[in-house]
Amino acid sequence: MSDVIGRRKALILGAGVYLIGACLCTVANNIEMLLVGRILQGIGVCAAGVMSRAIAKDLCKKKDLPRVLSWISIGMATAPAAAPALGALLYFLCGWRSIFAVLSVVSLLILAHAYWRMRESLKIQNQQKSVHRHFVLFLSLMMHRNLMAFALVAAAIQSAWFCYVVMGPFIFFKTLGLGVNDLAYISLLTAA
């Protein structure tokens, strides 16, 4: 999509969707509203992950790209591991809504930066106008057996990790009887 509409617009769209989701979670008064907000956050955050790599590819010299992509990968791997510690601290100090309020403010800052300060990184000559062409390319990638094998392995690893992130607190609290502070320490150890 960013090859058609541009990196900047895709990032703004993703940050906007994330912001709406974070705001919904902040004011949620039932589980359904919280789930809708979390789904919107998940959709929106995907744009940031994809756009960070695409923008790096657009702006970096070929010899610098592996180093920049490594730093992006480190950040993307560390954030979900360190987030429970920060979330536990916010929960302990201000309650669960404060977690989503902070995420709303951060996403608003990212959205404002992308809107007012960020220039389009995709050169005009590289911009594709055909959505159909991208759909055909996507389908051809989906039919590539080796690519799909590696993608499925990566998806399985990520799924296991996020199952731990989601279910870990329940196991630590209910089964092991640990507290919020303990979860913070465990998540920091996991991040290390």
The per-residue pLDDT for range 64-88, each reduced to its tens digit, is 888 888 988 888 877 877 787 788 8
Residue with the bigger pLDDT between 192 and 170: it is 170
Domains of the chain in sequence order = 2-121+131-191 (1.20.1250.20)
The per-residue pLDDT for range 29-56, each reduced to its tens digit, is 999 999 999 999 999 998 888 888 888 8
The mean of the pLDDT values for the chain is 84
Residue 126's pLDDT is what? 53
**What long-range pairs does 94-103 form, CB within 8 A, spacing at least 24?**
97/26, 97/27, 100/22, 100/23, 100/25, 100/26, 100/37, 101/26, 103/22, 103/25, 103/41
Residue 136's pLDDT is what? 81
Residue 35's pLDDT is what? 95
Residue 108's pLDDT is what? 96
Residue 2's pLDDT is what? 62
Residue 168's pLDDT is what? 81
The per-residue pLDDT for range 119-163, each reduced to its tens digit, is 776 666 555 666 677 778 778 888 888 999 999 999 999 899 888
The per-residue pLDDT for range 173-191, each reduced to its tens digit, is 888 888 877 877 787 777 6
Residue 16's pLDDT is what? 94
Residue with the bigger pLDDT between 60 and 116: it is 116
pTM recorded for the entire structure: 0.76
